Chains A and B, each alone.
Chain A
Amino acid sequence: MKVEAKTCHEQTHRPLFTWTRMWAVLVLAGLLGGLSLSGSSSAGELMAPPRVHTPPGAADSADEPLGPFPGVVAPEGTYEGKNVEQPIEFPHDLHADTNKINCLYCHTYARRSAVAGIPPTSKCMGCHNVIATDRPRIKKLTEYWEKGESPPWKKVHDLPDYVRFTHERHLKKFLFDNPDMSVERVDEVCALCHGNVKKMTVARKQKPLTMGFCTRCHEANDGPFDCQKCHK
């Protein structure tokens, strides 16, 4: 089993630095010195020029903002999503726009896990056992709550099983590590991939969420470009 066959192309490691080869080292040093004196500050800059992205259709002048907020190039593409029949017609516009509730208040797992998650019914009832208890939708919600069930919400934004996507890393890059952003403006970050949910009643798919949609944004914002980073 453990017999090592002899092959004709065995490689050997010769010592590469010997004093007899010092002349080669001196020539190399001279070349490098010449390069470094002729203007460039380091070899790293010569090797990798910074990637500059100008989205098609966007103006080339630097005056116009690149994305909806500084430091981010917004992904392009739209999608006409159908209205999804939900057990309760949850009004996103009333909560997030009129009453200015932060997205992360209900979708609290977005900043610390892969999935944003749907809030538990107890979170709804935290407010709604005192607020607007006479409305028909809230009465329906209270029924579910008293039965001890959660409303069978339907998934609107679904990714295929072979895709690995984490909300936390995207929020970290675009929101928490972005010095020009504050947590109050998280809805703009969400809107990059989820559309303007603030103006919708029941959430609807507005962005295609295809691989092209992801890779265009990854290219523009220097995201990872390795297949296995996102495919599992």
Chain B
Amino acid sequence: MSLVRNFIEDWSRYRRSIDEGGFHEYEHMWGMVIDLDKCTGCNACSVACYAENNLAVVGEDKFENGQGMHWMRIERYWDEPNIGNERVRDTQEHGASFMPMMCQQCNSATCEPVCPVSAAYHTPDGLNAQIYNRCVGSRYCANNCPYRLRYFNFFSYYEDSWPSPLDMQLNPDITVRDKGVMEKCTFCVQRIRSTKNAAKMEDRQVVDGEVQTACQQTCPTSAIVFGDLLDHESDVHKLWHKHQTRLGTTKQKKDNPELRGYRLYEQLNTEPSVTYLERVRDV
């Protein structure tokens, strides 16, 4: 009997490893879906991120130098007016498009292998972590990130970014980063950890929807969905599945052109955990 049982167990594990892109041994696999058709570009997620993650406000001059510390940023793209003929130029899908950009939590991240001190590394729950007190500020990771989603503390922002009494609103669950430290979106890891702590105290598993990132919580159109990709009942897994997005591939094959869902620069084989729902169209 053990022969049959072992065979069935190994076979199902093998099948699961194909379905889940090789991340089936993970405890969790935190992932995100951003529906670009719902996004209105209102920047509420960005503001929420500033409040949640103690992001420094750098001021206008430094922002112009590209030193802004916005972990969550809305990128705005205008369609070229000369593309397409006159008739289709004014159709609904032409005009401005918005794209919320945060760390894509790549599963084969380009930032991790270049860190000389292993401050950037991958956690067993599928997060691309940055350990601030280990970082020495070599900035290799930021230069190697194809998305430009890592931000460097060029100055001691903590000294003047929160003049008293504003320092009272700092989140105690996350470090105030010092000068010379690289930082980036963590998928609100402090919320994940506190929820897991509460779940462990009650001897249960984390329920879907229990962990909410700050951007997801604030989004007025619910364009952002966050959850555990390994939990087959979670909203985020259902959305990935529905739109035939999968891990472990460099191009999303769709049966139906109606299906949306692509990952950013996935042809670089970075394996991002964030899926954007938008029909890919050729201009």
Q: Using a CB–CB distance below 8 Å, which chain A residues touch chain B?
A: 1-7, 9-13, 16, 25, 28-29, 32-33, 35-37, 41-43, 160-162, 164, 166, 168-169, 172, 226-229, 231-232
Contacts and interface: CB of A to CB of B under 8 A. Distances in A.
B174 interface: yes
Given A11-B251, A32-B6, A4 B262 contact: yes
Given A36-B6, A169-B201, A13 B190 contact: no
Contacts of B185: none
30 contacts: A2-B278, A2-B280, A4-B251, A4-B280, A6-B267, A9-B250, A11-B249, A13-B18, A16-B14, A16-B15, A32-B10, A33-B2, A33-B3, A33-B7, A43-B6, A43-B10, A160-B133, A162-B175, A166-B197, A168-B197, A169-B200, A169-B201, A172-B201, A227-B134, A228-B127, A228-B131, A228-B189, A229-B193, A231-B132, A232-B189
B77 A1 contact: yes
Given A32-B3, A32-B6, A227-B123, 9 more contacts: A1-B77, A1-B97, A3-B280, A6-B267, A7-B251, A16-B14, A36-B6, A162-B132, A229-B193
A226 B123 CA distance: 7
Contacts of A1: 77, 97, 99
Contacts of A16: 14-15, 18
Interface in B141-165: none
B204 interface: no
Nearest to A32: B6
B282 interface: yes
A32 B267 CA distance: 37
Interface string B229-260: 00000000000000000101111010000000
A158 B190 CA distance: 20
B193 A164 contact: yes
**Of B7, B9, B280, which is in contact with the most chain A CB atoms at under 10 Å from its CB?**
B7
A161 B176 contact: yes
B46 to A, nearest CB: 19
Q: Is the interface of B mostly helix, strand, loop or mixed?
A: mixed
Contact of A13 (B7, B197, B249, B283): B249
Contacts of A229: 193
- The bracket for how many chain B residues form the interface is 35 or more
A37 B197 contact: no
A160 B249 CA distance: 41
B171 to A, nearest CB: 10
A164 to B, nearest CB: 7
B175 to A, nearest CB: 5
Interface in B97-117: 97, 99
Contacts of A36: 2-3, 6
A92 B8 CA distance: 60
Given A2-B262, A4-B251, A164 B6 contact: no
A12 B252 CA distance: 9
Given A1-B97, A13-B18, A160-B133, A33 B6 contact: yes
Contacts of A232: 173-175, 189-190, 193
A36 to B, nearest CB: 4
Contacts of A11: 248-251
Contacts of B134: 227, 231
A102 B3 CA distance: 54
A9 B269 CA distance: 9
Nearest to A166: B197
A164 B127 contact: no
Contacts of A226: 123-124
Contacts of B193: 164, 229, 232
Contacts of B3: 29, 32-33, 36-37
Nearest to A176: B201
Given A4-B262, A5-B267, A227 B249 contact: no
B140 interface: no
Instruction: Give the residue among A10, A226, A231, A232 with the most B Cβ atoms within 10 A.
Output: A232
A42 B132 CA distance: 41
B250 A162 contact: no
A166 B198 CA distance: 11
